[in-house]
Chains A and B, each alone.
Chain A
Amino acid sequence: EAGVAQSPRYKIIEKRQSVAFWCNPISGHATLYWYQQILGQGPKLLIQFQNNGVVDDSQLPKDRFSAERLKGVDSTLKIQPAKLEDSAVYLCASSLDRRNQPQHFGDGTRLSIL
């Protein structure tokens, strides 16, 4: 099966600019996650979708981050405006359902803020 697809692989922007990341989960996977991985740390959950609804966004900095999964398949994560501390790898993961299936990760988007 095709894995989780993410684009772009790399992005460099200046602080205060906007950026968007795209994720296409494995076909048929209802649950989609976005994680932020800062250098030297483990991934940190930002938001979880079940189909097109948000299940958990408690750790999403909502003043600057937003995410959507309008048709319950692809998802976009946006940062506006970006800060220096947003430099990280943004990982997308999907699973067949919420709890009993493993999460499959994409390659991530590496974001650098200048």
Chain B
Amino acid sequence: AQRVTQPEKLLSVFKGAPVELKCNYSYSGSPELFWYVQYSRQRLQLLLRHISRESIKGFTADLNKGETSFHLKKPFAQEEDSAMYYCALRGGGADGLTFGKGTHLIIQP
């Protein structure tokens, strides 16, 4: 069975501080990992995926297969980063995503 764990329900940091949203997964094969974001009053949208190895809005995430982690990082938080962040996994022959419970990120001015 595959599982995604986001240990923090809420994370509050000050503007300009570094941000790290934790994501750990459980899957026996080679997964695809994603970060989705939901801003206030907006729909869920893809932020980044590990196979793209890109930086979106200053965020990066590296897949660490040894630690089964896919933490989301940003060196300097901005107020507009406040949102719900969901880590998701797609594994094996399945196309559907398995989501974590999400972390509510609040950036304080």
Contact = CB atoms under 8 A, between A and B. Distances in A.
Contact of A42 (B49, B88, B95): B88
Query: Which bracket fits the contact residues of B?
Result: 10 to 19
Interface residues of A, number: 24
Given A91-B44, A105-B43, A108-B43, A45 B97 contact: yes
Contacts of B99: 42-44
Contacts of B94: 56
B10 to A, nearest CB: 12
Interface string A21-53: 000000000010100000011111100100000
A54 to B, nearest CB: 12
A61 interface: no
Contacts, number: 46
Contacts of B86: 42-43
B95 A40 contact: no
Contacts of B4: 42
A99 B88 CA distance: 14
B96 A45 contact: yes
B95 A98 contact: yes
A105 B96 contact: no
B97 A43 contact: yes
